[in-house]
Amino acid sequence: MKRADRHRMAFGALARTPLRTAMLLLATAIGVAAVLVLTALGEAARLYIAGEFQSLGTDLLVVMPGRTETTGAGAGMMSGATPRDITLDDARALLRSAAIETVAPVVVGESSVSVGSLERDVTIMGTTASYATIRHWTMASGEFLPDVDMERESPVCVIGSTIGRELFRGEPPVGRWLRVGDRRCRVAGLLAKQGVSVMVDVDTVVMIPVAMAQSLFNSAGLFRVLVQARSRDAMPAAKRFVLATFRARHHGEEDVTVVTQDAVLKTFDGILGALTLALAGIAAVSLLVAGVLIMNVMLVAVSQRTQEIGLLKALGARRSQVLALFLTEALYLALLGALAGVLLGFAGIWLLGGLYPDFTFRPPVWAVAGAVAISMACGMLFGILPARRAARLDPVAALARR
């Protein structure tokens, strides 16, 4: 029997029972589509997080006070109490390296801000002009903090878009005065809407010069220093310089932690990658269910076509030919189902993309290939039992059935 004939015959048998075939295709398709959509969701989350960190720049080092043994977002992150603070002088010393483009010291605290009788508690961030450069922020109006010496307490501030809207009630805030704690500052600029960036709602932040924040919160220590290397390649040199500088300035003690975006990103990547894999696994179960369904229906098909099988044997079909014929049918179901599933999956993903345009929904290539491969394997595996039953039918008994 020629291969083309076997395919034609298997196809003819499937086409004869369109409803049954359509139902089986649907079952397989749903399984494959589920794998695609779920992994696309997992990937979207991963890409979103990756994008967040990418927006910080991959050539960024974060220096935190305190020594942690592990890399990544560790214990020193939230505690201000460390043996030795990072000071503005420390930050300034970092600028001497050729590998370092710029640094931005950061102090963070909570304070009340008010305009007239309107008051609310907000996150205050003390930093310098470099911060906007590092974060690639854009202004809705006015300017960012002035590029002056770190020690200067210029009475200016920059506000997030939500603060601008709520405290100034739609009036242009630039040039107006704002009370921050017990100080007054002039609004130099209004940030363009940034949304949530690295899990901080930038739109509700008020930014003031770092020296002013230090005296406002009565603390000489910095919360962080962001260090931008000249390039990605300069990262190792920059990191070495940072550690050496602090060792020299802190009496030989390396009491800071330097975190690269890559390290943090890798951690998130690992977690979200595992999540995607778990989703894929759950979805693959539905493929298995589809496989069992194919097996059941193929078994019914074999018993419905007992006479036909008997006839083929009487006409000289070998066992292997009958086996191949029914396996081909099962494979056709699996393959066509998988193709339909890929189409269905991409349709679903396209729909999701329309509903949530901020996310990039794209199933990973391995998920598409894997779903198709698993459904083929299922079709094969679950096709074997019915096909063997067909191949082993006793032709006399098969032909005797009416």
Partner 1 sequence: MSPQLRSSPTPDGAAILRLERLSRSFAVGDQLVHALDGVDLDIAAGEYISLMGPSGSGKSTLLNILGLLDRPTSGEYWLAGEQTSTMSDDRLADTRQRAIGFVFQFFHLIHRMTAVENVELPLMLAGVPMAERRSRAREVLRRMGLEARIDHRSNQLSGGERQRVAIARAVVMQPRILLADEPTGNLDSVSGGEVVRIVEALHDEGLTLIVVTHDQAIGSRAHRRLLMRDGKIVQDLSG
- Alpha carbon of residue 72 to chain centroid: 17
Task: Give the closest residue to 40 by CA, choosing from 271, 195, 272, 375.
Answer: 272
Q: Whose Cβ is closer to partner 1: residue 152's or residue 318's?
A: 318
Q: Whose Cβ is closer to partner 1: residue 195's or residue 316's?
A: 316
CA distance 183 to 176: 14
Q: Whose Cβ is closer to partner 1: residue 197's or residue 307's?
A: 307
Residue from 311, 380, 381, 384 touching partner 1 (CB under 8 A): that is 311
Total number of residues that touch partner 1 (CB under 8 A): 27
Residue 19 as a binder of partner 1 (CB under 8 A): the answer is no
CA distance 20 to 390: 19
Residue from 220, 244, 314, 369 touching partner 1 (CB under 8 A): that is 314
CA distance 51 to 192: 19
Residue 22 as a binder of partner 1 (CB under 8 A): the answer is no
Residue from 126, 291, 310, 348 touching partner 1 (CB under 8 A): that is 310
Q: Whose Cβ is closer to partner 1: residue 280's or residue 333's?
A: 333
Q: Whose Cβ is closer to partner 1: residue 232's or residue 401's?
A: 401
Residue 317 as a binder of partner 1 (CB under 8 A): the answer is yes
Residues 6+ apart with CB under 8 A from 136: 55, 57
Interior CA angle at 301 toward 298 and 303, to 5°? 115
Q: Is 249 helix (H, G, I), strand (E, B) or coil?
A: helix
Residue 316 as a binder of partner 1 (CB under 8 A): the answer is yes
Determine the interface stretch with partner 1 among 27-35, 60-68, 139-147, 303-311 (rule: CB under 8 A).
303-311
The distance in angstroms from the start CA to the end CA of the chain is 27
Q: Across the strands, what pairs with 111? A: 122
Residue 7 as a binder of partner 1 (CB under 8 A): the answer is no
> Is the Cβ–Cβ distance between 375 and 31 less than 8 Å?
yes
Q: Whose Cβ is closer to partner 1: residue 199's or residue 315's?
A: 315
Residue 319 as a binder of partner 1 (CB under 8 A): the answer is yes
Task: Give the closest residue to 225 by CA, choosing from 208, 199, 200, 246.
Answer: 246
Q: Which residues bind partner 1 (CB under 8 A)?
A: 1-2, 4-5, 9, 12-13, 15-16, 307-308, 310-321, 395-396, 399, 402
